[in-house]
């Protein structure tokens, strides 16, 4: 391995190490004021790390992070002032209270869509602010709680200045370690796909409500920890700490630092804490300059500074190559004998759905057997994709049922059906750009099942499940003939590569039935032939395959049966030859001309 590939594999980690060293050197030289700013930046770094869980990795716009921060500050201050607790006790108490609040709030509002969730969290934050202002006896009202002592651990008081700043950053480092473990785990990969392509994630079996709740709870825990550190660094907390401005600040720090990189959290916090200080010379115009600086930052680096550094690193040294895995896939059920040839794996009974006043599908009844390939054709708007969505669980039907292996799954959401064995691909292959093809496939492996949050407590790199999942993913990529693309980033894959990777992702979960939406679109003739033999091979394993396609030439030699839809109803069904010859089909779809 030459130097270039070593650097490529390392990612921009050396940059971060250098930056951390620079900050440490600055810390040793700084005066009390500079150290205080460093400590404050550390507190915000924790809050931003927490925010990254819910906003960066899950993509949910929570507007309560500032509130958790302030809540942590008030809790720690009150316990220290009224009960004389030391930091070793007030910190866990602050975290516990914030997590409890997040659990209550999350249970009610996490199911809401993005901007509703945002507004709901905003409402909670504003309510907390009003509480802090009005509940004079507890919180001191507008005056807040001054005179909060510094960091006391058991009987020892950490002196102000560099010891306190160092203490803050030690706590931050512990939090950063947890965050890095999260990101580098199979669980974290799943969350990344969930943020980038929620639908694709659902089809990969990722989407259980516990995941969002876990992210929200983590954000609350980290936020409160940051707040607790903050109040003992500054010695005061007032309702201003619960104002919306703090939330805006944390949001800006997250986005400008880079919402997916742990290093980004520190970068954003350090930058935005120091920026107003650098602009102090402008006096009354300092914050105007700060706003301008913010604008410049976001335009210059919309993915955040960490994102820009990573992109630059990749441009200089190329993407990291994933070593071809020597470990074989664990003996898996992939080699299991195919089920009996005429078992019905998936059935639709009189499915119907309407959108607004438009009845998109009526009375759709059909079935797929194990090892069967069924083609689904019809003009645009006839309901093909709708039917696929109904079968896979992305739409809930108004009428009818969906049965998987005889069990009624109509009420189950898409991610649940995915885990039960319905795999789906999309018209535009939805892969996470910043993950390798291998990881894009690995997340769908059955290993990534229920929330394995305990992973974040491991030492980094020791995630056995991730290794197993990757091994399975590699096998799946080999099966579809895309093993060569395993190490490439999602953003760097070509169209046909993307399709194959998506197919591998559908395959790795060992599905009983695969629903493929126009898998051949955009492929060359040779690629189409390869795809046809691949699909035949998969069917031979006993997987039922439904293919939506426009091109009869693709389906004719491939499909066992073809179903033709028109205007939301099944027009004809039978062998490909029968359907192609059907005059009604030719009128509706082929316009009378021969296929």
User: Can you give the binding site for other proteins, defined by CB under 8 A?
Assistant: 31-33, 36-37, 40, 61, 108-109, 112-116, 119-120, 122-124, 126-127, 130, 133-134, 136, 141-144, 146-147, 230, 234-238, 240-241, 244, 248, 251-252, 255-256, 259, 277, 280, 283-288, 290-292, 294-295, 298-299, 302-303
Residue 403, beta-bridge partner list: 347, 408
Of 166 and 344, which has the nearer Cβ to other proteins? 166
CB 568, min distance to other proteins, A: 19
Whether 551 and 373 have beta carbons less than 8 Å apart is answered as no
Whether 287 and 277 have beta carbons less than 8 Å apart is answered as no
CB 582, min distance to other proteins, A: 33
Q: How far apart are the first and last CA of the chain?
A: 54
Of 26 and 285, which has the nearer Cβ to other proteins? 285
Q: How far apart are CA 285 and CA 183, in angstroms?
A: 40
CB 224, min distance to other proteins, A: 17
Take residue 121 and report the two structure tokens written for it. Answer: 């969290």
Whether 216 and 456 have beta carbons less than 8 Å apart is answered as no
CB 147, min distance to other proteins, A: 6
Of 6 and 295, which has the nearer Cβ to other proteins? 295
Angle formed at CA 181 by CA 180 and CA 182, multiple of 5 degrees: 90
The set of residues, in sequence order, having a beta carbon less than 8 Å from that of 407 and lying 6+ positions away, is: none
- Inter-helix orientation angle 65-82/114-134, to 10°: 30
Radius of gyration for the chain, computed over Cα atoms and rounded to the nearest angstrom: 28
Of 130 and 457, which has the nearer Cβ to other proteins? 130
Of 256 and 432, which has the nearer Cβ to other proteins? 256
Q: How far apart are CA 1 and CA 453, in angstroms?
A: 35
Of 96 and 298, which has the nearer Cβ to other proteins? 298
Q: How far apart are CA 468 and CA 205, in angstroms?
A: 17
Of 118 and 184, which has the nearer Cβ to other proteins? 118
CB 251, min distance to other proteins, A: 7
Of the candidates 393, 397, 426, 368, the one whose C-alpha atom is nearest the C-alpha of residue 573 is 368
CB 426, min distance to other proteins, A: 16
CB 171, min distance to other proteins, A: 19
Q: Identify the three-state secondary structure at position 139.
A: helix
407-408 β-sheet, strand order: 358-369, 344-355, 399-404, 407-408
CB 236, min distance to other proteins, A: 4
CB 3, min distance to other proteins, A: 33
Whether 415 and 207 have beta carbons less than 8 Å apart is answered as yes
Of 37 and 344, which has the nearer Cβ to other proteins? 37
Of 101 and 482, which has the nearer Cβ to other proteins? 101
Q: How far apart are CA 325 and CA 569, in angstroms?
A: 48
Of 22 and 355, which has the nearer Cβ to other proteins? 355
Of the candidates 139, 140, 165, 131, the one whose C-alpha atom is nearest the C-alpha of residue 151 is 165
Of the candidates 339, 371, 348, 391, the one whose C-alpha atom is nearest the C-alpha of residue 548 is 391
CB 167, min distance to other proteins, A: 17
CB 267, min distance to other proteins, A: 15
Of the candidates 517, 470, 469, 527, the one whose C-alpha atom is nearest the C-alpha of residue 494 is 527
The set of residues, in sequence order, having a beta carbon less than 8 Å from that of 513 and lying 6+ positions away, is: 345, 346, 368, 404, 421, 422, 423, 543, 544, 545, 546
Of 276 and 339, which has the nearer Cβ to other proteins? 276
Q: How far apart are CA 423 and CA 415, in angstroms?
A: 10
């Amino acid at each position: 391995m030459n130097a270039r590939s070593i650097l490529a594999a390392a990612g921009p980690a050396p940059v971060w190490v250098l930056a951390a060293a620079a900050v440490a050197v600055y810390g040793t030289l700084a005066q009390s004021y500079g150290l205080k700013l460093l400590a404050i930046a550390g507190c915000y770094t924790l809050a931003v790390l927490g925010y990254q869980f819910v906003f960066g990795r899950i993509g949910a716009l929570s507007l309560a992070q500032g509130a958790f921060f302030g809540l942590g500050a008030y809790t720690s201050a009150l316990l220290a002032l009224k009960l004389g607790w030391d930091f070793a006790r007030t910190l866990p108490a602050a975290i516990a209270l914030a997590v409890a609040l997040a659990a209550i709030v999350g249970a009610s509002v996490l199911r809401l869509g993005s901007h509703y969730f945002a507004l709901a969290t905003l409402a909670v934050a504003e309510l907390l602010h009003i509480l802090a202002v009005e509940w004079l006896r507890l919180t001191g009202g507008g005056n807040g709680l001054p005179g909060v002592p510094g960091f006391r651990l058991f009987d020892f008081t950490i002196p102000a200045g560099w010891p306190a700043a160092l203490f803050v950053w030690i706590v931050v480092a512990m939090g950063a370690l947890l965050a890095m473990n999260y990101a580098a785990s199979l669980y974290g990969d799943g969350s990344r796909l969930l943020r980038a392509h929620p639908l694709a994630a659902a089809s990969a079996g990722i989407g259980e409500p516990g995941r969002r709740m876990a992210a929200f709870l983590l954000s609350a825990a980290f936020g409160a920890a940051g707040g607790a550190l903050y109040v003992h660094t500054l010695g005061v907390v007032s309702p201003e700490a619960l104002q919306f401005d703090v939330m805006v600040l944390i949001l800006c720090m997250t986005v400008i630092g880079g919402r997916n990189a742990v290093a980004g959290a520190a970068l954003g916090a350090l930058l935005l804490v120091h920026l107003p200080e650098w602009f102090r010379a402008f006096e009354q115009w300092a914050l105007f300059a700060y706003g301008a600086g913010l604008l410049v930052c976001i335009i210059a680096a919309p993915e955040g500074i960490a994102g820009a550094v990573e992109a630059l690193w990749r441009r200089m040294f190329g993407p990291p190559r994933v070593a071809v895995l020597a470990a074989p896939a664990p003996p898996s059920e992939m080699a299991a004998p195919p089920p009996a040839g005429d078992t019905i794996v998936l059935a639709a009974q009189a499915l119907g759905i309407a959108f607004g006043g438009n009845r998109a599908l009526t009375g759709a009844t059909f079935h797929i057997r194990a090892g069967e390939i069924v083609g689904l054709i019809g003009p645009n708007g006839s309901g093909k994709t709708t039917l696929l969505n109904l079968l896979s669980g992305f739409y809930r039907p108004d009428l009818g049922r969906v049965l998987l292996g005889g069990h009624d799954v109509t009420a189950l959401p898409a991610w649940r059906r995915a885990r039960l064995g319905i795999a789906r691909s999309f018209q535009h292959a939805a892969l996470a750009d910043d993950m390798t093809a291998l990881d894009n496939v690995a997340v769908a492996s059955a290993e990534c099942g229920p929330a394995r949050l305990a992973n974040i407590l491991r030492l980094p790199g020791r995630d056995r499940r991730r290794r197993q999942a990757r091994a399975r993913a590699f096998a799946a990529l080999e099966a579809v003939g895309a093993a060569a693309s395993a190490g490439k980033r999602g953003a760097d894959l070509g169209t046909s590569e993307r399709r194959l990777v998506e197919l591998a992702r559908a395959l790795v979960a060992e599905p009983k039935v695969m629903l493929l939406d126009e898998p051949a679109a955009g492929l060359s003739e040779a690629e189409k032939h390869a795809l046809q033999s691949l699909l035949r091979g998969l069917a031979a394993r006993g997987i039922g395959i439904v293919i939506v396609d426009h091109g009869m030439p693709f389906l004719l030699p491939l499909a066992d049966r073809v179903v033709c839809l028109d205007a939301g109803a099944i027009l004809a069904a039978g062998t490909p030859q029968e359907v192609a010859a059907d005059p009604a089909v030719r009128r509706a779809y082929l316009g009378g001309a021969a296929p």
